Amino acid sequence: MSDTSNQYDIQNPLTQYPRPPFPRQPQPAPGLIGEMDPVPDHGETSYRGLGRMEGRKALITGGDSGIGRATAIAYAREGAAVAINYLDAESPDAQSLADLIEGEGGTLVRLPGDLTDEAFCEQLIADAVDQLGGLDAVVINAGKQVYTEDIQDLTTEQFDQTYKTNVYAMFWLSKAALPHLPPGGTIINTTSIQGYSPSPGLLDYASTKWAIIGFTKALAKQVIGDGIRVNAVAPGPFWTPLQPSGGQPQDKVEEFGSQVPYGRPGQPAEIAPMYVFLATQESGYTTGEVFGSTGGEPTA
Ligand code: NAD
Ligand code: MG
């Protein structure tokens, strides 16, 4: 493996990070970073901020681990004050993130709670606005993924929870946040390669990710008149707790990432810069777009 602590020197992306096979590593959802082998890279030792988000105020759902955690680290190092939402069971991951960001002099507000509850989503936005002193970037990134091979085994309860977490929460958070966002404010949703090329065992999940693309494009057109932009990021396979904690069966975890042209999963550190770009004025002419980072798997 090449030097993974430096994202800025030119190197072969195929060998930059671990490749399968990986050990089987079952753990209960929502999953914790400490149970993962190899440990994911969230940019802890590598991400260099350039002051691109100085004075900005951002809320990131699912900010404790995975893609959200890498985004939180990047935003904080770019100078933003950051609030994260996560579930109570994920307190250890939120704590280690707070230790890192606060240890560097940054701001991390922790706002745990369950996004499947509309009243909680409204309260979360109110608390973020209150504790950050405003809000100008909302990263809607929390997600639920439970691999279920046969539609006959897919319960209404699971279908409902997946839609509540991935789609309804996006609607509730967007609706509550928009009145607070200034011109130049942004919403960034997280869809998936599954929204374009769905796996048969992810019927509920893949269809939520398709819905997120439609919602992003429609809302972008609705709110650009207020100077607010809405975009989405579409990850391919990324090495995060979502996958070994029920997102995939363990035999697929062993070969995770082998299905895309890179032959390996992405690491959260490799996608966080996309969330930075979409939050800053550098992407000012971009709205209603979906940016892919898929290890070479086409999104079209
Ligand atoms: P992750 O497990 O690190 O993050 C998902 C987060 O969702 C959890 O940390 C948890 O805090 C949050 N969450 C789940 N249910 C919740 C609820 N009811 N209330 C509040 N929070 C809840 O995994 P990740 O892969 O970084 O996931 C981030 C996003 O990326 C998700 O939307 C996921 O669908 C998407 N994504 C991931 C992959 C991948 O391969 N890892 C691929 C495509 C898209
Ligand atoms: Mg987590």
Residue 46 gets the label, from left (phi > 0), alpha (psi -120 to 50) or beta, of alpha
What pLDDT was estimated at residue 58?
99
**Structure tokens, 17:** 């990070």
What pLDDT was estimated at residue 5?
63
Give the number of whichever ligand sits closest to the CA of residue 68: 1
Model confidence, pTM: 0.98
**17 a catalytic residue:** no
Segment 249-275 shows an average pLDDT of 98
Segment 168-175 shows an average pLDDT of 99
Point out the catalytic residue in the list 205, 262, 275, 285.
205
User: Ligand 1: does its nearest atom lie under 6 Å from the Cβ of 118?
Assistant: no
Segment 43-64 shows an average pLDDT of 98
User: Ligand 1: does its nearest atom lie under 6 Å from the Cβ of 257?
Assistant: no
Q: Whose CA is nearest to atom 32 of ligand 1?
A: 143
Q: What is the DSSP string of 52-106?
A: TTTT-EEEEETTTSHHHHHHHHHHHHTT-EEEEE--GGGHHHHHHHHHHHHHTT-
Phi, psi for residue 87 in degrees, rounded to 5: -90, 155
CA of 225 to the centre of ligand 1 (A): 31
Mutate which of 97, 189, 240 for ligand 1 pocket (most atoms within 8 A of beta carbon):
240
Reply yes or no on whether the pLDDT at 56 is more than 50. Answer: yes
Domains in the chain, please, with CATH?
50-293 (3.40.50.720)
Reply yes or no on whether the pLDDT at 1 is more than 90. Answer: no
Nearest-atom index, ligand 1, CA of 93: 9
